[in-house]
């Protein structure tokens, strides 16, 4: 995880959106960060320090004049890998832009050389005021990262621009700040989820794929600078800066891939595409009283094989092999038959692996190379391992050295 061990000072200022800092804090800690919360006096009108202290890595700090720490702002500023202010009120933004140090948070902002990210939250009239616009412009010019507020419901029932960005969006922005941009400008297409093949107007043939691994790969590629298109059969909320194409059947996924694939630099087929579909689909709901229907199946299009046959020079094609037996043999045959550059094999019968789980364990196979195993980890970490390998493959095609993997896979015995 890119945030593991990162020391993040989480500044919380006095706005109604302060309650969202609790979720931001929890997500950062879950991602491995060491979170040091700093609250302004105004923030304490909206959020109790006990709540944030319980979830953070250290107790909340509020006092510039701490008897046990004579210069707390200097220590916080010098030790931070990032200072994140969420929410950032108009007052804090103004103080930071003009260099006005009045409390622990504003002093810390001025006493650091670490990156700073501010997440504004205020009423629309305040967000659009020329003074706030100028201050935000000044901060951006100085290199401060700004996560713009969203349109939505505000305090008092108003609706408009100024709502604090969603916690998942803020945490994604933080993760991207620490992620190497080794896919800048690369066009990546990822598929996710299991296709659903209709039997009648209400029933389908499907599989257990949740789409979690494919979505994690799409996020990992986007975090590293890629322009990502996700072709998915499952809902994918919170995917910012990723183009989402929703499909349901294998035929629809094939059509979407035929449109996306020619311009892609990298294709990752993580979706579980049904191998068969009913040859005849009833246009109404079949009734139980009529007895069990005879369902004749026919093969679905082999999307991955088609992509392998049509693969342009330089394109990286990645497939998945979800198996329950003979994992490496089946994956190796698929690697060769589909003309893949990489196949990600997993034993979906193993505990905690594959469909529906938040964790996975995989073996990565490439032509002419020893298989490499990645043990049971969160699917986000598996996604990083896959993208690391993709980056290495792209580097090899241009005869430049690949990056060091964030996860060190062990050779399969």
Selection from 299, 373, 368, 383 nearest residue 336 by Cα: 368
Distance, in Å, from the CA atom of 119 to the CA atom of 117, rounded to the nearest integer, reads 7
Which residues lie closer than 8 Å to 240 by C-beta, 6 or more apart?
169, 172
DSSP-derived secondary structure letter, 66: B
For the stretch 283-292, contacts whose Cβ atoms lie closer than 8 Å and that sit 24 or more positions apart, written own/partner, are: 283/200, 283/201, 284/200, 284/201, 285/200, 285/201, 285/202, 285/203, 286/199, 286/200, 286/203
Count Cβ atoms within 10 A of the Cβ of residue 340 and give its class: 0-12 exposed, 13-18 middle, 19 or more buried. buried
Place of tokens 């009423």: 123
| 207 assigned to active site | yes
Which residues lie closer than 8 Å to 287 by C-beta, 6 or more apart?
none
Torsion of CA 368, 371, 374, 375, to 10 degrees: 180
Task: Copy the structure tokens of residue 120.
Answer: 């504004």
User: Which of these is catalytic: 107, 207, 346, 360?
Assistant: 207
Active site members = 207
């Amino acid at each position: 995880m890119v945030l593991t061990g990162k020391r993040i000072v989480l500044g919380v200022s006095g706005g109604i959106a302060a309650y969202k800092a609790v979720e931001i804090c929890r997500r950062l800690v879950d991602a491995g960060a060491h979170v040091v919360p700093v609250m302004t006096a105004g923030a304490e009108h909206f959020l109790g320090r006990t709540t944030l202290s319980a979830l953070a890595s250290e107790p909340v700090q509020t006092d510039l004049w701490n008897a046990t720490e004579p210069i707390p702002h200097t220590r916080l500023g010098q030790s931070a890998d990032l200072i994140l202010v969420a929410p950032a009120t108009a007052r804090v933004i103004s103080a930071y832009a003009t260099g006005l140090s009045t409390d622990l948070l504003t002093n810390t902002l001025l006493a650091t050389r670490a990156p700073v990210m501010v997440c504004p939250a205020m009423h629309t009239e305040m967000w659009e005021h020329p003074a706030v616009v100028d201050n935000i412009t000044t901060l951006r010019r100085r290199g401060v990262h700004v996560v713009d507020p969203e349109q939505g419901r505000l305090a008092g029932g108003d609706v408009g621009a100024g709502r604090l960005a969603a916690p998942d969006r803020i945490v994604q922005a933080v993760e991207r700040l620490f992620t190497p941009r080794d896919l800048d400008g690369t066009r990546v297409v990822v598929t996710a989820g299991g296709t659903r093949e209709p039997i009648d107007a209400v029933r389908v043939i499907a599989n257990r794929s949740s789409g979690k691994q494919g979505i994690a790969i799409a996020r990992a590629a986007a975090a590293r600078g890629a322009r990502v298109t996700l072709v998915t059969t499952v809902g994918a909320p919170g995917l910012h800066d990723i183009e989402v194409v929703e499909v349901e059947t294998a035929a629809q996924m094939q059509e979407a891939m035929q449109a996306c694939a020619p311009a892609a630099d990298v294709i990752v087929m993580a979706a579980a595409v049904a191998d068969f579909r009913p040859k005849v689909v009833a246009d109404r709901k079949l009734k139980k009283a009529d007895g069990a229907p005879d369902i004749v199946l026919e093969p679905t299009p082999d999307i991955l094989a088609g992509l392998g046959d049509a693969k342009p020079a330089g394109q990286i094609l990645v497939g998945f092999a979800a198996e329950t037996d003979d994992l490496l043999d089946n994956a190796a045959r698929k690697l060769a038959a589909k003309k893949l550059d990489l196949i990600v094999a997993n034993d979906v019968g193993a505990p905690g692996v594959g469909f529906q789980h938040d964790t996975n364990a995989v073996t990565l196979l490439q032509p002419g190379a020893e298989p490499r195993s990645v043990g049971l980890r969160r699917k986000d970490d598996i996604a990083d391992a896959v993208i690391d390998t993709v980056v290495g493959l792209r580097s090899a095609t241009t005869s430049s050295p690949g990056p060091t993997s964030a996860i060190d896979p062990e050779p399969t015995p």
